[in-house]
Structure 1
Amino acid sequence: MVLDKRRTFILNQMYHNNGIVNMKLLKNKLGVSQRTIYYDLDQINCWLECKGLKPIQKARGKGFYLTVDTCKELPSRLTLKNQWEYRFSQKERIQIILLMLVTRSTSLQELMDTTQVSRGTMFRDLKKASKELEYFEMKLTYEKRSGYQIIGQEQKKHQLMSNVISYILTAKDSPHLNEKLHDILYPSSNNNDDRLKPFLKKELASIEKTLNVSFTENVIQYLVLQIMIAIKQKNRSVSHEIDKEEIQILQKTKAYQSIEKLNDSLQEQEFGSIPSHEMLLLTMQLLGSRVHHEHITGTCTKEMSQLQMVVKKIIDDFQLIGCLIFADRKQLEENLFTHLKPAFYRLKYDISTNNHYLEEIQKHYPDVFYLTKRSLSHLESFIGKDIPDEEAAYIAMHFGGWLRRENQNTAKKYKAMVVCENGIAASGMLRSQLETLLPDIMILHTVSIREYNQSDYQVDIVFSTSYIKQKQAPVIYVPALLIDKDRENIVHQVKTILESINPVDQEVSLLMAMIEEHATIHQPGVLKEKLAQCIGNQYSLTKETYKPMLDELLTQDMIQLEEAVTSWEEAIRVSAAPLLKNESINQRYVEAMIHNVYENGPYVVISPNIAIPHARPEQGVNRLGMSFLRLKKPVAFSDQAKHQASLVIVLAAIDNETHLKALSQLTEMLSEPGNTDRLIQSADADDILAIVKQYSLN
């Protein structure tokens, strides 16, 4: 009886949701038809019956659920004791293959047995695995006697193993893959290994205190595995592959000193010892590990002081390019610095990171991702390397979360917390999304699973990205990045919970009593009904704010072509005229833009020949708008040649977000080689609109 990945996912949804799972949710999550899901449910019921468990129950008009008895028994039955209970996807099989080969030479038959695929499928998988090895500058070889093996530098092998372990530990909805990881690394687990794991967790808690950080649970599991592997690695030597000067730098860090202390403790407890070369690699891993939060102290190395300055420049650039100002900037700087410290070491030591949210960020937040990539030049110069998209996506999550911080100061009736294992960037992003979606709920805490288990929190609701044991407050399981189908489900669950905390009838009665004190009610029945509707609709789904494209803002009537103006002040006034005419802005906004240049200098000249004057939304913006002035003769915003502009584009933003899609398209258009000259040489507005159209794509 086969229980494949999709059917296992359906079972996991029912088990983890502690309630009814509706058909719409399953269709949206899996992207398949209702007919397919009903077939899957039949197959799952057959599997449950084979295991002696009760089948899935159906609540008419609501959805599907598991009985209490089935939920109790399921964790012990859904294991890999029978390998055919779960089919790994190709991506998962590749990780298993790489993990096996990086630890030892392996025969074709062993690879087939472990992944439960045919010979033909395994050859296709090996071809793909070989391709992935090229990224790590290694290659796959085959010898008849020993089988397949990986050839390459030891440090590269360590990077590959770290990458695979990290991927498996952070893979969503795949406990089977995690279980397979332990089977491969520890095929014959003994009592010593069972004692070593809790010992290492305790030692890592001590290291956290020494380094003033709090690691995520995934990072703790990852480090435990890396240390256990390091103890067994007696023959590998990477010291000759690391620069001598870099070795000295590593040995002076608190992280290395913590590993030395850990090594002493391991020897005292007779668990073995960590070879000196492995201590260097573990130090790199420790420095590059993502944290949930950090207790920032006053002391800072020269390198970290420079990184703090880089953080300020990144935020400056994002604000400049994005034509916005972040609220509570100091806190943003601290959070971004906390994230970038380990990111700096990951980039410095070529430690790759698995960002499972990269595709979702690129798909659902392309404007924020694009503007983030444009803001990282100072970080790239500081590190001397390009920033990979995986790292850029984490930084984009910081900015994406912070963009929604404004207008969040309304009175909140209910308290909640977020439990998230994905680090400070993902936690902040999720928090902001939930606060925007649920205006009556205040998120008091964002914590890791360990912190949740160790303390009690007085909240009404807990939002969690991972399965956790419910305490006093009900738990709602959420993804780290929300899209419309997730929002709808969350709103429904929140509404159900809050109605049980504070029933609608009770709220209506309180309101009726208050109204009766101060007014005469002529139709109490009608008023009660209207109040109940109003309160009941309090958590109707809030759709994402619509973000117009560039060609929706830069229309023909917003474009002007002039030969010259007498001053930069006149350039701003002339460029803003169409927005004044259609009442997108008032005169106060024009004066605010001019005042900003006097106050802050020619910051509006974002690159040669291009100026984007703007001010704050509250300084006279009525609705989102953009206007475009082309000058044949450039106007000077200062006495320096680099501050001359022939294109003066006025932006009137209503908040920190709505204009970002159009602005990212504008930025892309202006950064394309040759486009600035084409725009300056345009004969009429139609020529400009033709170029604008090319970049106005979803």
Structure 2
Amino acid sequence: MLLLLYGDTIKEEYINEEVCFLADYLMKKSSLKTEGKDTNQKINFYIIVKSFLYRLTCEYDINFLNDYKLQEFLTAHIISLYNRQKNNEKIINPYKEDLLKNYKKDYEIISENIYILEEDLGIKLDDNEMTYILMHIVAALERMKQNVDELRVLVMCHAGIGTSQFLAEKLKNQFKIKIEDVVSSHYVKSRLFIKPEEFSQKYDLIITTTPLMGAPIPWIEVNPILTNEDVDKINKTLNEVSRNLPIKEETTIKNKTPLTSVKEKKTNENSKILFSTLLKKENILLDKNVEDWKSSIIIAGEPLLWEKKITADYLRAMVNNALDNDPYFVFAPGIALAHANPKYGVIELGGSFLRLKEPVHFGHKKNDPVKFVIALSVLEGKDNLDMIFKLMNTLCSKEAFEELVNAKDYMEIIDIFKKFEKQ
């Protein structure tokens, strides 16, 4: 790594860029190894990874769930990791120490939630494996930062205007920030605690040469000369603050797009499989009473049997999947995504939705009890994984969850899925 060559003098932005490059390389390498693998195995890992990303989303208060690249390549990496573990193959991460040093907080969050992968996969991960996972998460965070507008910064000094301008120019030259105002500490302190909303709406961060205890927005105290220690502190603060900012919409290309490309894009979008397109009155079951989790899977899957999407063997296989592998498919609070290996009786693609009158326990430590049971019959094909990605994202949305709980009929259920699949 660059750190090994240049030591601690290298800027953090280069470290981040290199981590992204290495993570991207590992992602592509892992994905090539898993091409052509069993579809059911991919779906199993897909769900387990989504459960892990759901927990990280809660911990960071940042949405990892919509990052398709992270979902795809982290799944591929976890499949490779799992196969290594089963073959008793050890791996050494040569960048482990540098990652632990530069991303200590991120590593702690991953360590606290790694049990999801360990328990669902029946394996134990060491620092080498976890730091490779860390690289994927850091790369995702860096991608998010690229889609966030420059931080709006207020520079505040207790000395004269000359010192203030000196500090502002040094900040402009060293950091990707937008300095909105340069003011005296007297001005800020006379207004900050009287009209806090004025500051929180206008600025994301205050960089100050004097303490601002109790300020309503993030602040950091620095020396106007900007020491190396100050630069490190500012970098860390900018990273933390930017992670909590909303991600801007993708910018549209101003140049005209060729007509053929527009047509191709529309054709591809129309041909994509969505869960909402599988739903109809007959396979949406609302407010049903069940004896236990087994009967909930059977009831959820029966519409697929009547529609001749599956055989009776597949119903039993979905129950056995939970018995044999634990309820890993209860991937988020209140949600079970029941499925099994297609070889046990999938005839064609299908899906159904069951809302239980009273939630039932599947035996999941974190995500019980379950309110919604979705039964899926999935065949080979990337489009099917794309559908599952959008389906799980919809179900992980708190807003969508509440709307599905309160929906009055099957038409509302379909409309809710359609609405959130577009997001």
Provide TM-score, normalisation by structure 1. 0.28
Provide TM-score, normalisation by structure 2. 0.44
